[in-house]
Structure 1
Amino acid sequence: MAADLTLSRHHRGGEVILAALIGVWLVAVSVWPLARLFMEALAPGKDGAPLGLMAEVLTARATGRAVWNTLAVSAGSVVISSVLGVLLALVTGLFALRGRVAMTFLILSPLLIPSQTMALAWIELIGPTSPILRPLGLAPPPGTTNPIYSGWGIALLLGIEHMPLVFVATRAALIALPGDLVEAAQVAGARRGRIVARILAPLVAPAALAGAVLAFAAAVGNFGVPALLGIPGRFPMLTTLIYQRLNGFGPSVAGQVAVLALILVLMAVAALVLRAVILRWLTVPLGRGAGLTPFDPGRARPVLEAGVWSLLAMIAVLPLLALLGTALSPALGVPLSADTVTLRNFADVLANSMVIRAFRNSLMLAFVAAGVCTVIALPFAFLKVQARMPAIRVLDWLVDAPWVVPGTVVALAMILAFLQPLPLVGSLYGTFWILLVAYLARFLPLVLRPVIAAAEAMEPALDEAARIAGAGSLRRVALIMAPMVLPAATAGAMLLVMTALNELTLSALLWSSGTETLGVMVFALQYEGNSAAAAAVSILSVALVLAIAVLLDRLARHLPPGALPWRS
């Protein structure tokens, strides 16, 4: 009995040490930077008045305009996201269509393609030199301003980019519905249209509404689309106002932009609180049973399939084809044909040392972040699921903070936290390391969530047997849990790599000479007017992400269910 008690205390001591190490790490890379940001925003004004800095920024005309534009554009984008997301979820979820995996992949592609690449693709698609619309006589007249450089253009692209959030929420609600509901309605003589309108649609409406609120939170914090469309169109939003202030005046205006960042946080948190309320009070518990069996569309199958493919071609395929056409054009404005197509733009960017360095930096940041996050996720999941430590519940909530708040806020928090020299290492500002710390803080949930889900599916007796046999915490993590959750950890790590490869929101504020990333390079090339080179770099980066996605898809049978969203 005494030996068992001593062994239990020994194991608990090891778990406490693990939890303490993870807690220190999270405080250093997540909690402290965000706390530093909030303290800066609440600083007194120049005259010493409490909250004077906040009052000064909030009463500025530029702030009011940026806040209004952010709210208006984000609300408009939610309408687009909701219509597209719900429509595609219902059609692909309720009807047995051919090629549903490919359809789902294209529907989710806006989550894989970075916002700056999507914005650049639509610029090339709709502009006067469009390689798609110009031969058809549908492009704007030469010399005119691209119509997408406007508030409605930003709303359109944000709506398309965040449509998958509504789609995933609605589709998940459909999958969770018991098939008995449909069978009972069919026995009662109800037709399909009535079943969908009177039974299924009301049941998935709360999930769709929650997805729409999440899309609003994402739109509020988006930087890539407002940067490429709003800055040239003189349409400021909060994220671009923060970028322009820091880019123009540097850390000296950190307090002012901290107030702007706090506004973004409040908007995002309000949206997430509303989402939680919707899910708690409007969702109807239905119990478990066999899932819905998709309807046989019968003669309507060709029409439905043609409609879905046409819509996906317009929002996902044509913009990328326009981007590819620009990359293959010898010069801006030259019509693309068999005689003019060239690979010179690709050769030029691959010979550019800055572009090569950007590829190297992005790959290094993405894979190092994926590796470190996996190392953190394994013991974290062990402590939460197997050890069931109460303190880990608090840490589990803190992990999501840098992912929930807008990326611009996280980048600014890193500047404020690591601008001043630290003991032994000095200042991280302007170095590769501040980018890595920001990536580690923001992208950890991408690996942690699937690892925790896989750990919860494990047989608890395995860990209990290892504990009774005298295995310590680290050995149980490495020898028992790690092999069991390895597929989920691999999928999460690869999703992190795909997300981080073309990241712009963090990098735009944290990069310096020598630490350029792919997202920064595309933005810089387009900003200086080199559209062909920007298109070439974008196509190469998208090809890299799609190659990783194809590799993951090939490994799908080895991954846990739900690891790949397009196969859910």
Structure 2
Amino acid sequence: MRPPRASGAEHLLVSLLILYVAVTTLWPLARLFTSAFQPGEDGAPLGLMLSTLSSRSTLRALSGTLQTALLSVVISTLLGVALAFAVSLLKLKTRAALTFLILLPLIVPSQTMALAWIEFFGAQSPILKPLGLAPAPGSTNPLYSIGGIALVMGIEHMPLVFISVRAALRALPADLVEAARILGISPGRIGRGIVLPIVMPSVLASSLIAFTAAIGNFGVPALLGIPGRISVLTTLIYQRLNGFGPAAAGQVATLALLLALMAAIAILARNLVTTRVAVPLPAGAPFVPGKHAPFTEILLWLVVLILTLVPLAALTMTALLPAIGVTFGPDTMSLDQFRAVLNNQTIRRAFANSLLLSSVTAGICVLVAVPLAFLSVRRRNPVLRLLDIVIEAPWVVPGTVMALGMILAFLKPLPFLGVSIYGTMAILVIAYLARFLPLVLRPVAAAAQSADPSLDEAARVAGAGLIRRILSIFLPGMLPAGAAGAILVVMTALNELTLSALLWASGNETIGVMIFALQYEGNSTAAAAVAVLSTLLVLILAAIATVAARRLPKDMLPWID
């Protein structure tokens, strides 16, 4: 049966969605990429792009980006695969807790994790110094290096590999493993010869996603690379804009285009892997772990604690010190830094701004995602499919690229209004809306696929209008998925730095910007206190989402089995 023809209300709704995507995504990206194709000072075509790409600073930043990204991918892949195999193939009593801790680097903001590792490996480390393992006083932190950046980014992006490989292992047919066991094949050979080849496409695809995340990472290279004089493309863009402002738009647009090109190649390679290399599996019951390994479980806890909680413990201990250089102990620890940051008007404003930005973004994203998912399910036309692809772009391309596009698009006064939103909260809202819409759209779209279309059809036949059908019939079923997406948006946007670092202005500070600024100024204890408070906020949100998980569709939260 052919679906009914689209009504005028549906055409209007599609037009409004196109306008939304055009303002938040298409226009900024178009302005960014056209700025890179300006002629040079001598009028030569593409002269600006060629001179920027051939400069020593660009080549040095490109080399730093590739070195840190590729090395971090090796670390992410090794850790993610090993942890996914252990959690999925062994019978663990504490599987849920281990899974949450493994995913913690994905939940905790990038700059907070970087700051935690800085405090852990620093000369005044409250953990390593009492053990005599800290660097000598006055020496450079070992993390201020290519290896240090790669290590922290590798741990931060490890959950991306873990999630993908765990999903592949959970779909592994039990018959394959059982047949190998009957033939007397050892567990090691089963893992290497049967299981690993089956999940290898997921390993490759998730490694490419980790590479995309690494080349677009700003928080870690900024906190570790700038002090260590390690240049990458994201920090070079930040420094150029900070030093020269909009006058450097053409140069930084070229750098952003280079980042976007690298990300696009990685995404295309991932799609090729998932469509051409994926191994078709026979139907059957999924593999269920049957062997308990207590020693392995203890070893897993030791590794996971070192990767996640130990650095955060060092960060918390630093926040409890009254000043830099004071040795941590019962007589020196206090809450003075927490009182100081909470009494600081700028920091309080940053918390209020971040809460407002993340909440407004989450709410608007739900309002956009619900009708878009409704139309995508009811009307499978090329325009909606194209919109779906375009909406993914701000999440896939590095945040620095999107931030620069926003500057170029909204620096001049808006048509008809005659005012510029550059330097205001409005440009941050637009950037957040573009960046985080996919976090809401994906769970809502997944829930919409399983919705019963007969209810909407009955309401349409009864004469109910489009808006009434969406609000009364479609929306109630989408609320759990929309709430899950909204919580993920708030958790992610609350400590966002990559966009905010380039778009904030005085009065519009955010939590991520304050942590970066305090650490950059050398006030490590205050930065640690703000980072600990922001992490507590995120963990509270994660706890709320976990409690509400029973009302959410399956697999909406990555740390819930």
Please give the TM-score of this superposition, normalised by the length of structure 1.
Answer: 0.97
The more displaced of 288-297 and 60-69 is 288-297
What are the within-5 Å matches in structure 2 for residues 348-427 of structure 1? 348-422=340-414, 423-424=416-417, 426-427=419-420
User: Which consecutive unaligned segments of at least 5 residues does structure 2 have?
Assistant: none
Q: What amino acid is aligned across from residue 464 of structure 1 in structure 2?
A: E
CA contact 1:151–1:235 (8 Å) conserved in 2: yes
Partner of 1:555: helix, strand, or coil?
helix
Partner of 2:288: helix, strand, or coil?
coil
Q: CA RMSD in A?
A: 1.3
User: In structure 1, what is the equivalent of residue 476 of structure 2?
Assistant: 483
Residue 343 in structure 1 maps to residue 335 in structure 2: yes
What are the within-5 Å matches in structure 2 for residues 130-279 of structure 1? 130-279=125-274
User: In structure 1, what is the equivalent of residue 457 of structure 2?
Assistant: 464
Partner of 2:559: helix, strand, or coil?
helix
Over residues 512-565 of structure 1, what are the superposed CA-to-partner deviations in whole Å (9 max), with x where a residue is unaligned? 000000000000000111100000000000000000000110111111100110
Q: Distance in 1 between matches of 2:459 and 2:300?
A: 52
Q: Distance in 1 between matches of 2:423 and 2:437?
A: 22
User: In structure 2, what is the equivalent of residue 452 of structure 1?
Assistant: 445
Q: Distance in 2 between matches of 1:425 and 1:136?
A: 62
Q: What amino acid is aligned across from residue 531 of structure 2 in structure 1?
A: S
1:424, distance to aligned residue in structure 2 (A)? 1.3
CA contact 1:42–1:54 (8 Å) conserved in 2: yes
The equivalent position to 2:525 in structure 1, one of 517, 532, 551, is 532
Residue 327 in structure 1 maps to residue 319 in structure 2: yes
Q: What amino acid is aligned across from residue 265 of structure 2 in structure 1?
A: A
CA contact 1:386–1:463 (8 Å) conserved in 2: no
Q: What amino acid is aligned across from residue 91 of structure 1 in structure 2?
A: A
User: In structure 2, what is the equivalent of residue 560 of structure 1?
Assistant: 553
Q: Distance in 2 between matches of 1:238 and 1:8?
A: 50
Residue 66 in structure 1 maps to residue 61 in structure 2: yes
Over residues 474-523 of structure 1, what are the superposed CA-to-partner deviations in whole Å (9 max), with x where a residue is unaligned? 11211111111111100000000000000000000000000000000000
Q: Distance in 1 between matches of 2:385 and 2:8?
A: 18
User: In structure 1, what is the equivalent of residue 44 of structure 2?
Assistant: 49
Partner of 1:76: helix, strand, or coil?
helix
User: In structure 1, what is the equivalent of residue 502 of structure 2?
Assistant: 509
Q: Distance in 2 between matches of 1:362 and 1:542?
A: 13
CA contact 1:15–1:387 (8 Å) conserved in 2: no
User: In structure 1, what is the equivalent of residue 18 of structure 2?
Assistant: 23
Runs of 4+ in 1 over 4 A off after TM superposition: none
User: In structure 2, what is the equivalent of residue 118 of structure 1?
Assistant: 113
Over residues 398-456 of structure 1, what are the superposed CA-to-partner deviations in whole Å (9 max), with x where a residue is unaligned? 10011110000000000000001002161111111000000000000000000000000
Residue 291 in structure 1 maps to residue 286 in structure 2: yes
Q: Distance in 2 between matches of 1:358 and 1:78?
A: 33
Q: Distance in 1 between matches of 2:171 and 2:457?
A: 32
1:192, distance to aligned residue in structure 2 (A)? 2.4
Q: Distance in 2 between matches of 1:528 and 1:436?
A: 27
Partner of 1:98: helix, strand, or coil?
coil
1:63, distance to aligned residue in structure 2 (A)? 0.5
1:154, distance to aligned residue in structure 2 (A)? 0.3
CA contact 1:82–1:208 (8 Å) conserved in 2: yes
Q: Distance in 1 between matches of 2:29 and 2:45?
A: 21
The more displaced of 319-328 and 169-178 is 169-178
CA contact 1:106–1:312 (8 Å) conserved in 2: yes
CA contact 1:268–1:404 (8 Å) conserved in 2: yes
Using the aligned pairs only, state the percent identity: 58
Structure 2 CA distance for partners of 1:180 and 1:466, relative to 1, 3 Å? farther
Q: Distance in 2 between matches of 1:452 and 1:155?
A: 35
1:460, distance to aligned residue in structure 2 (A)? 2.0
Q: What amino acid is aligned across from residue 219 of structure 1 in structure 2?
A: A
Q: Distance in 2 between matches of 1:193 and 1:527?
A: 48
